[in-house]
Amino acid sequence: MTKPITEAAITELIISSSRSSCSSKAKTFCMAELGCSSGPNTLFVAMDFVKIVSQLCRKHGHDELPEFQIHLNDLPGNDFNSIFKSLAHSFHAQLLQEMGASGAGGSAPYCFLSGVPGSFYSRLFAAQSLHFVHSSYSLMWLSRVPEGLEMNRANIYIASTTPASVINSYYEQFQRDFYFSEMSFGGSSGWWKNGVNSFGEEK
Ligand SMILES: C[S@@+](CC[C@H](N)C(=O)[O-])C[C@H]1O[C@@H](n2cnc3c(N)ncnc32)[C@H](O)[C@@H]1O
């Protein structure tokens, strides 16, 4: 369900990069997976990101494939060891199998994976260093309970009888929590939570 929207956001990112002057075309694309966990979904979107960006760069006549920096974020208690002992190996093996050997002349791009332990409610990355931020089923927990929820009376979430002021409180808390100064200009972010998605561009 989410793949076409993710693909559309990545495509738009590359098209805007191609429109920029040659000297400013991105040579390295950076993405962050927030709340990556340590299971089958950890590198799922990262793989799509690398493949889609690589295909589009070829299609738009970029001379060489860009390199990729992929930041995997979760809380410090996450099993980062499993990611780097097993998942990272499968990731590189799959890339190699599907795209060929890395480096000049080959067709799989260089991908650098790094673990970033910490809460996504704190600053985790350098300013304007990310082109694409993705998160699935991790952002439904806000950093704090929004104010004014007592007006919501019988509900513990937004329901059809929830007053507009409560919806606004949730919205404002979400905006405060997810202001990304780390996004590069023209970058894109997407997150998925319990059937709701949001993709936004930073200008
Ligand atoms: C339900 S799992 C989703 C995992 C994966 N993204 C997926 O779609 O399968 C939620 C993940 O978010 C992480 N998480 C929750 N709050 C977080 C926070 N404040 N900062 C970073 N990670 C967080 C949890 O540790 C957990 O690994």
Q: Is 194 found in the same domain as 126?
A: yes
- Is residue 146 located within the same domain as residue 94? no
In this predicted structure, what is the pLDDT of residue 45? 92
Q: Which of 75, 176, 178 best tests ligand 1's pocket when mutated (most atoms within 8 Å of CB)?
A: 75
The structure's pTM equals: 0.82
Closest ligand 1 atom to residue 141 Cα is: 16
CA of 63 to the centre of ligand 1 (A): 37
The domain of 84 spans 3-139+181-201
H/E stretch holding 74 reads strand 67-74
The total number of structural domains that make up the chain: 2
Cα–Cα dist 5/77, whole Å: 31
Written as tens digits, the pLDDT of the chain (203 aa) is 567 888 888 888 777 766 665 445 678 999 999 999 999 999 999 999 999 988 888 887 777 889 999 999 999 999 999 999 999 999 999 998 888 765 545 578 999 999 999 998 888 999 888 888 888 887 667 888 888 888 887 888 888 889 999 999 988 888 888 766 677 655 555 554 443 444 444 43
The CA 174 to ligand 1 mean position distance, Å, reads 16
pLDDT in tens, 72-97: 999 999 999 999 999 999 999 999 88
User: What one-character-per-residue DSSP string does 104-160 give?
Assistant: TTSSBPPEEEEEEES-TTS--S-TT-EEEEEEES-TTS-SSPPTTGGGGTT-SS--T
CATH code at position 62 = 3.40.50.150
Query: Do 84 and 120 lie in a common domain?
Result: yes
| 164 and 117 fall within a common domain | no
* Same domain for 194 and 130: yes
Distance 36 CA to ligand 1 centre (A): 6
